[in-house]
Amino acid sequence: MGKIAFVFSGQGDQYPGMGKELAEKYPIAAQVYELCDRIRPGTSTQCFEGTEDELKETKNTQPCLFAMELAAASVLIEKGIVPNAVAGFSLGEVVAATVSGIFDNETGFRLVCKRGELMQREAEKFDTSMAAIVKLTPQQVQEICGKYADVYPVNFNCPGQITVSGRSSQMADFFAEVKTAGGRAIPLKVKGAFHSPFMNEAANAFAKELAQAETGKKTITLYSNMTAEPYSEDAIELLSKQICSPVQWEKIIRNMIADGVDTFIEIGPGKTLTNMIKKISTDVKAVSVTEYLAEVEEC
């Protein structure tokens, strides 16, 4: 029998009302939101009633997504669906680290609140943005980025899809070159050039926050955005440096499959990771948490 992995989504899939049905239907999900509200008042209100623009703000997006994702994971675990492995895309890695046992729920949430504040602070210093580039190879995207001083390939998502971060003033010309090469650029719903050198100071500041946080023993295998390999012991370096380093998502999924995972449950408000995984391999099952809960409750 194969292994189950929980994969936690990053910024971009958020939407007004996310998690409301979970909190209304499952007491354990409501308890997660209550914890988050005690630490950061108004978190559940932002999730359930916030506007799209409000949820786009990184200092809001990250805590709100963490709350929704931890609530959903808690529901599954309460139902006896415990993952053999976890991974998270960008901020999702903080949720994954929490579910793995490195942080307790309160510590994980406090850290993600700080992470969102630090990344927004850096994002506000520069006029930057992100875009997904489709229909080109990693080599093609890297070659085009190499022509620009401040455009970087940052997320290696799946075959034919790479995310770039860069200075906004250079993006129009960059997009034109992408089109000429046969690709297409899709701007993302985030404010900042994440996983690039623009985030170096945020990464350094977050390392200091992590160094002060209380940690526990990991009980579930956790894969790193930076290395695409399971964590050893140095969570501080891996979780801080991923803020300014590329996310090796395709490699993570291929490594998880090689290690025996054949079922991936995306924990988040959308299906972005599910769709990526289906492009990486047609031999595994990839479903959103909403779909998986519906399956479980039908049985």
Give the integer Cα–Cα distance in Å for 229 and 222. 8
- Segment 260-297, tens digit of pLDDT: 999 999 999 999 999 999 999 999 999 999 998 888 87
Per the residue annotation, which of 9, 44, 74, 90 is the catalytic one?
A: 90
Please give the model's pTM, rounded to 2 decimal places.
0.95
- Spatial separation of the C-alpha atoms in residues 79 and 82, rounded to whole Å: 8
1 has a pLDDT exceeding 70: no
Q: From the CB of residue 187, how many other CB atoms can be counted at a distance below 10 Å?
A: 11
Question: Averaged over 127-153, what is the pLDDT?
Answer: 96
The reported pLDDT for the residue numbered 299 is: 63
The residue to which tokens 């719903």 are assigned: 189
Choose, from 195, 224, 240, 245, the residue flagged as catalytic. Answer: 195
Give residue 189's pLDDT. Answer: 74
Q: Which domains does the chain have, with CATH numbers?
A: 3-124+196-298 (3.40.366.10), 128-187 (3.30.70.250)
Indicate if 245 belongs to the active site.
no
Q: How confident is the model at residue 213 (pLDDT cuts 50, 70, 90)?
A: very high
Give the model confidence (pLDDT) of 84-118 as tens digits.
999 999 999 999 999 999 999 999 999 999 999 99
Residue 74 has pLDDT above 80, yes or no: yes
Determine the pLDDT at residue 296: 80
Matching residue, tokens 């701007």: 187
Determine contact, residues 242/93, Cβ cutoff 8 Å: yes
Active site residue 240: no
